[in-house]
Structure 1
Amino acid sequence: MGLLERLNDDMKQAMKNKEKEKLSVIRMLKAALQNEAIKLGKSQLSEDEELTVLSRELKQRKDSLQEFENAGRSDLVEKTKAEIQIVELYMPKQLTEEELTQIVKETIAEVGATSKADMGKVMGAIMPKVKGKADGSLVNKLVQQHLSS
């Protein structure tokens, strides 16, 4: 089952169960996917493109969460946390820190990186491998740790 079909099924279920928050987030995700398809001039997105859209939506919410926490807006913090949980339902299983560390070590060896100057090379090689399965800031932190040691 494709992501759009899954969203449609979940949207119907959310309507039946009168889950307003979930319904709202699903509609936002569907709109984001459809907008991306229109932007790319396609009738249907590839799995990779869908993952890019979901990752972007999740990142936006996490950034918003940080801003709301800094501003002391507890009402918006709770709402955004709930939205993040719903978006994460549609994301692939996230890699553990151990799995991510292993990928970082392998990639550093692959590209022959030796110092922090090679950071861009390493990040460029890692991100396609972990797309949607790991947070970019965590990947960045792990790469920095392994390049500085």
Structure 2
Amino acid sequence: MLKARLQADMKAAMKAGDKARLGVIRLINAAIKQREVDERVELDDTQVLVVLDKMLKQRRDSVTQYQDAGREDLAAQERFEIQVCQEYMPAALSEDEIAALITAAIADTGAAGMKDMGKVMAALKPKLQGRADMAAVSAKIKAKLAG
């Protein structure tokens, strides 16, 4: 379980005196706890991946904004946070694997055009969560459905 692994890693970071890593793990735990409190549920690994995916997207956006503003110090901190968050994500899928899943999802849902985009995304999201950039996947689906 991801939550148990996060707890163990937090204890290890405390013992090692790794304050930077400890801070990021605490941020992750806080985001998970916030969602659990808001929704009054216990998050499973899939839902924890959704939280991590959202955190990664926010940090990638922040890196771009900090670089544009010339704040390399802040961008470096965000990149460090991205690196720690990535450790808890499953291995990324290759372009070929993503293309195969898109083709299969289009066939399975019987998608015939752009109006079926939502059906295809809904079928793919559980399989790709945390393993692919969903914005890029969305663009690939649009290209296939439009072509």
TM-score by length of 2: 0.89
Count residues with an aligned counterpart.
Answer: 147
AA partner of residue 39 (structure 1):
D
Distance 1:116 1:70, change over 3 A: farther
Structure 1 stretches lacking a partner, 5+ long:
none
Q: Percent identity?
A: 39
AA partner of residue 53 (structure 1):
V
In structure 1, C-alpha distance between the alignment counterparts of 2:24 and 2:75, rounded to whole Å: 15
In structure 2, C-alpha distance between the alignment counterparts of 1:129 and 1:9, rounded to whole Å: 27
AA partner of residue 36 (structure 2):
A
Aligned twin of 2:50: 52
1:24 Cα deviation (Å)?
0.6
Aligned twin of 1:41: 40
SS of 2:139's equivalent in the other structure is helix
Aligned twin of 2:5: 6
In structure 1, C-alpha distance between the alignment counterparts of 2:123 and 2:69, rounded to whole Å: 36
Work out which of the residue numbers 91, 106, 129 in structure 1 matches 2:89. 91
1:130 Cα deviation (Å)?
1.2
Q: Which runs of 4+ in 1 moved over 3 A?
A: none
AA partner of residue 124 (structure 1):
A
TM-score by length of 1: 0.88
SS of 1:28's equivalent in the other structure is helix
Aligned twin of 1:135: 133
In structure 2, C-alpha distance between the alignment counterparts of 1:128 and 1:82, rounded to whole Å: 27
1:79 Cα deviation (Å)?
1.0
1:22 Cα deviation (Å)?
0.8
Structure 2 stretches lacking a partner, 5+ long:
none
